[in-house]
């Protein structure tokens, strides 16, 4: 995956068997909104292509990542997650409160329909799954995260 950033916008392109999967997102405060998800042909170098896309006016409305992801293969869904994790690294967010930081990252992953958000955070943060779960439980106790309730998946 190649990714480029311009202010609050993040654009990535990943080569697939069908072409390049282009993902565009915008960060607004604590939210990361999905703006574009397209399969495109890339002419020339990928970073140059992404710079051109970032120079264009972004779409005004966000897409529904949960609805979109329902219709994707797991490989393409993994590319959405990888894009989001790269955006997390780019955002200059206070990490001194590890509970709040982990809760924010978890919430953005689940908002993008990542069903294995705890595992993804564990791998990305290089901590155990139990540590992530403990932080999320602390976040719920502190009111940072709400409990999803029994049988609820993907925030719905």
Q: What is the pLDDT of residue 153?
A: 55
The rounded distance, in Å, linking the Cα atoms of 12 and 32 is: 14
Spatial distance between the Cα atoms of 10 and 25, rounded to a whole number of angstroms? 5
What pLDDT, on a 0 to 100 scale, did the predictor assign at position 68?
94
- The pLDDT of residue 39 is 94
Tell me which residue of 57, 65, 59, 58 sits closest to 110, measured CA to CA.
65
Q: What is the pLDDT of residues 18-52, one digit of tens each?
A: 899 999 999 998 899 999 999 999 888 999 999 99
At 80-126, the pLDDT tens digits run 999 999 999 999 888 999 999 999 999 999 999 999 999 999 999 99
The predicted-structure confidence for 48-65, as pLDDT tens digits, reads as follows 999 999 999 999 999 999
Where b means 16+ CB within 10 Å and e means fewer, 84-101 reads bbbbbeeeeeeeeeebbb
Q: Judging by DSSP bridges, how do beta strands 31-40 and 9-16 pair with one another?
A: unpaired
Sequence-separated (6 or more) residues with CB below 8 Å from residue 142: 99
pLDDT for the residue numbered 124? 96
DSSP per residue over 7-39, as a string?
A: TTEEEEEEEETTEEEEEEEEEETTEEEEEEEEE
Calpha distance 128→152 (Å, rounded)? 24
CB 37 within 8 A of CB 23: yes
The predicted model scores a pTM of 0.90
What are the C-alpha distances in Å from 41 to residues 21, 60, 141? 9, 23, 47
φ and ψ of 8, to 5 deg: -90, 0
3-state secondary structure of 142: coil
**Calpha distance 86→145 (Å, rounded):** 22
Residue 71 pLDDT grade (very low, low, confident, very high; cuts 50, 70, 90): very high
Examine the pLDDT at 156 and tell me if it is beyond 50.
no
């Amino acid at each position: 995956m190649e990714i480029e950033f311009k202010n609050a916008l993040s654009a990535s392109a990943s080569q697939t068997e069908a072409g390049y999967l282009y993902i565009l997102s915008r960060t607004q405060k604590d939210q990361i909104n999905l703006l574009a998800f397209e399969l495109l042909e890339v002419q020339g170098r990928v970073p140059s292509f992404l710079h051109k896309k970032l120079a264009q006016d972004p779409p005004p409305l966000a897409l529904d990542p949960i609805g979109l992801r329902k219709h994707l293969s797991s490989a393409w869904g993994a590319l959405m997650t990888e894009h989001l994790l790269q955006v997390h690294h780019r955002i200059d967010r206070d990490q001194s409160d590890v509970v709040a930081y982990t809760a924010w990252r978890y919430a953005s992953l689940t908002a993008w329909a990542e069903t294995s958000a705890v595992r993804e955070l564990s791998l990305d943060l290089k901590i155990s799954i139990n540590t992530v779960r403990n932080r999320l439980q602390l976040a719920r106790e502190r009111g940072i995260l709400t409990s999803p309730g029994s049988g609820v998946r993907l925030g719905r």
